[in-house]
Structure 1
Amino acid sequence: MATTGSTGGSPATAVNLRDKTLRTCLCNVFANLHLSPMVMGAIVKTESQDKEDHETYRMYLDRLRTNKNEPTFSNTELKKEFGYNSESLKKERNPDMLDLTAIFCLLSHILTKVKKYDSVMLEVLFSKLSDVKDMRNKVLHNLDQLLNEKNFTDLTTTLFDLIEEAKRFYSSSLGPEVLYFPAEDTKQKLSDEITKLEDLDKSDIHYYISRLVMSGKPAVSKLWGTRLHCEILLLNNDKVHRQKVFHALDVMVKTSDSNEILSYTKIFEAPENVVVVAGAAGAGKTTLVKNIVLQFFDPQQRSADHLSSFNQLVFFECRDRSTEKLSDVIDKHYEDLCSELGKENVLKALLRIDVLFIIDGFDEVNKNSAKVVNGRMQA
């Protein structure tokens, strides 16, 4: 969600902006998770001025189709068009509650498939929208980029340029209706929000996220790297390095049209928030997920395309009978950070960034682990 402000709880304490590394990370997190959605959300509001307050964006898109005597979206078609962002469009009514990727998908659809503006006029605006989206992906998926001061300057400059281009676009649009884009108000709001960075306190969600992305991955790597690094072979009890004996699996992807055999890495291209890998006992499901965990933390494999879009990883085994809440799983992964910030705040931060949740052993689920799984599905 593109919201800002305190998460409540403990008294506010000013962030120490003299810590240059933390300050740079915080600025980039704030810019990409708050400023960018705010500006692009203003364009969504301009394009959907006729949307009723009670309508979700899925309802709004369906109404636009009905007005043109076209069939409404089926769930399958909606998912094909918007991928995992389709779930957000089904329930949200305000762009302030959408993240940047959902906003970009929504705008792309409206601009190119609903309104169908002149391609020459649209080209520059769409290019600047893409620049903002690409900056988000570049920065949030790479810690080195998060710690680069220039990225904050580049993004804020691009956002002001985007506002100017939107002003030009809507003032000269030859569409069926003249839409008003509040360029000056949006620029002023952007300037005001940038100024707020100086006064952010340690109860702000962006501070939690910044701390998480800076220190979270090493903590989880230490937790699972030692536990999963080696395995005992069943035939001769030899202890081997797990990744050295791992053979990549193929999986059968079942669709309404066909059953296709693909590399397991294609799982990560599915337009779903949740993917279930099923198979007979001994087929290699647990071996697969444990190797994915190790790949995530392996510097030589971390840049692999199928893992590059995730900032953090959380791994849970359903045979665990001692853990009852998702927040306790988070505490196990980020113990020091949870002690300092509070495990509920770390969980809130995780839910705002791109996290790969891996749950192993659904066939071993018990009363307690079921609560954890349900907690993740409802988060």
Structure 2
Amino acid sequence: MRNDVMHEVAGDAVNPMKFDEIVKALHDVIDEAGNVYSIPVDEVMSLKTQVDGMWDEVRTDNEKAKAYCCFFLHTFGKKEAKVMWEAMLSEETLLFSEDKVERSKVFHSMELTIQKPGLQAGRISYKELLCNTDKKFILISGASGSGKSTLVKNLVIQFHGISDANVEMINLKSFSLILIYECRNRSIKQFSAVVHQNFKNVCLKLGPETVVQAITHSNPIILVDGYDECHEDSFEVVDQLVNEMKYHECRVIITTRPSHFEELKNHLKQKLVAFQDYEISEISDIEDQKRFLEKYEKHVNPHAHEVVKTFSSLERKIQELFVHPIYLVLFCQLVWNFPERINNWTSHAAVAHDIYRLYRKMIESKLASYSIVDKDGLVDDFFRDVANFSLQTIAENLVVFSEEQVGELKSSFRKTLGEYGARSKLDPKALLGVVLKMKRHLNDFDSCTYFFHHKSIQELFASKSVIKELRKKKCLPSVLQGESHASQNLQGVLACVLIELSAVENSNVFKRNWHRLKDAAKAVGADKKFWQQVLLSSPHSQQVAKETARVYMAHNKEWYIGSGRDAATVALLLLHQQPARLCASLLDAPAPESWRQVAQTFKRVLELRLLSEVDDSRPCDHMLEALSSSRCCVVVVFAKGTF
């Protein structure tokens, strides 16, 4: 009987009434055992009663069906999901090439900052993300390129054991199922469609609504990637997901950019949902950065070499520009393509310019064998089309494009090629493939979607359209004019614009348009995190520092230093604003030079909180030494005591 049931479950749908046959078979086994071993009749009847009691919870047809659905989902469904995700996630195609690498081999074990009231937030490894059993919902905020989607994908890889990946995540195997929903997906309009996407064949057998109910009783992990990319339909999907899961055992992990973090938290509070929120920490330690790069050196062939050596030779202020995974990956590509330019970098703008040059180099190589008059003009116009498309799609919060939407860009390419007499020589698809990646659907191989290599690349291209308008027409595109038109989605674009124009060589354009840019920042909802990003990428710009200081002071009269990044920010701001009180937690040793600058510049009340939540035995001499000639009033806090 056991073999009969298991084989049918593995091969095809089983009738829920099979459970009655199981009970009858167990009764027969008990009767036979009673005869063979001469067990008293009352003991035989007692054992049968116990067996019947075990099935009391599944006596109704609905309960039997539910138990069957859960069992079918946990067996056949998990196998189906593993096959699908293995095909989609096992390998990562590198930027600007067809080289592939196993995702699990290059995954960097990231750290998360726990968001808590007060200063001593503390950090955890991503491996501990599921250790807090009190909160079902986990929110993860991270800047562009910080590794939010990479984290989500690697949780799936570890859960299913794809590519023999080690399970580093503590408690991951205590969950029965895992599902992914990407908020950028515009084809999904209901939570049941998310379930269908993850367990297609199970849904075809049992129906998506039935499977949804089975999932609610299966202690799943549900991964929601990119809340900041939500559109009207995906907001509804997230809403349905929250309503379905908030009363059931589960973990729901939601990632987002900082621009939409408060919105997400407020939404969950309205739903009376408890959550723990984290922020992905930067890879700011030089040894961590080198370990990240070493993985790409080790696992990428045939080009990988000299990356770590080149990175180690850079000035620390340049190394500090590469604190997110996407920029470390781009660093590899820049070393492999422009090794002669690396040592000329002086700012974030110079790095961004070379990323842009890398795309130009690839387009120029596509055109190299063709006889075209004014190739440089053709390349310029090609990138004009890409920039306009990028700005338009970001304004509409589009990061994945249908064939119809990309068709408009192809039409622009054809027109541009025609203007240079090259329409019959070149297929627009060849140029399109340089800037966009194509993804065919596993369930419908004839259809496909397109996307940029990363959203930050899309924003970089879009910024070129804005800068062109400012240079030529001395005005901003309409999508950045006025709060009624501008969108939070454009924050990344505006950050790219500010960083490039604040470079010394663009100072005239920057000064001429500074008031327009400040108005645009207000229109897109720029906050202190936005201005901090711009300031640290443009540390020499007094206009940016002054505006950042104003925003900080408007946000809070007390400022906080909880990391080396915070110390670098405050050191630049104190030249323009001095808060009434500055609170600083214990920084890693050795103290950054920016902490010494803070100690020398600040003149009011400095509160030092020198007890680490992670390790209360950590020394604090490196924090105190910088205060030897300080002119501020120092208050030192150790645990509950103040001295």
TM-score (norm. length: structure 1) = 0.48
Larger strand proportion of the pair? 2
Bigger relative contact order (CA 8 A; separation at least 6)? 1
Structure 2 length normalisation: TM-score? 0.29
User: Quick check: which has more Rg, 1 or 2?
Assistant: 2
